[in-house]
Amino acid sequence: MKSLPYRILGLLLVVALSPLYAQEDRYTLLVYGDSLSAAYGIEESEGWVALLENRLAEKQYPYRVVNASVSGETSTGGLARLPAALENYQPDLVLLELGGNDGLRGLPLESLRQNLIAMIELSREAGAQVLLAGIQIPPNYGPRYTIPFFQLFGEIAQEKTLPLVPFLIDGIPQQPDLMQNDGIHPKAEAQWMIVENVWPFLEPMLQHK
């Protein structure tokens, strides 16, 4: 009878610590992008990354989602930040969504290519799978730049043998009422469409414990 309280105490400790163990037992998905992923102009909880985290939980995928996206980020800035992000979060999967600001600034495509490839290789060296998200820029930048810009993402995906979301916000710019006043960023009510664009390519990469 004297040992009973100790048994009860042990059970209580197991129950109390189990959520901590559950958190440690999760995989980490790092979303690494720019304003399209940083919930620009809307509440963070309304952004597609938060909605994706909700879907993962609903479908009982054991993932925590870290959103390391920064509005205005270029591929050069992203490359500079990435080593620290990989070290801090130790992701199992990186969703790489950068390049849009390079395009809007008309920066050289070869620099974008080199930066994206370097980030892919750094992520893989850190033990993470990589999902690349493609971007299009408005047609007023001219076909001599916009067409090879868009094609660049597919070329990199093929070269590095990794899955590609062809166009992150596909279906949204075609409906102006779903875009914010700047004509670049989707409104809150369109964020679920981004999740739908990402999900078919992300889900096959997900793991269960």
Concatenated DSSP letters of 27-75: EEEEEEESTTTTTTTS-GGGSHHHHHHHHHHHTT--EEEEE---TT--H
**pLDDT tens digits, residue range 159-208?**
999 999 999 999 999 999 999 999 999 999 999 999 999 999 999 999 98
Q: How far apart are CA 63 and CA 23, in angstroms?
A: 9
Domain residue limits, the chain:
26-205
Confidence of residue 5 (pLDDT cuts 50, 70, 90): low
Please state which CATH number belongs to domain 26-205: 3.40.50.1110
**pLDDT tens digits, residue range 137-161?**
999 899 999 999 999 999 999 999 9
**pLDDT tens digits, residue range 92-118?**
999 999 999 999 999 999 999 999 999
Residues with catalytic function: 35, 182, 185
Confidence of residue 22 (pLDDT cuts 50, 70, 90): very low
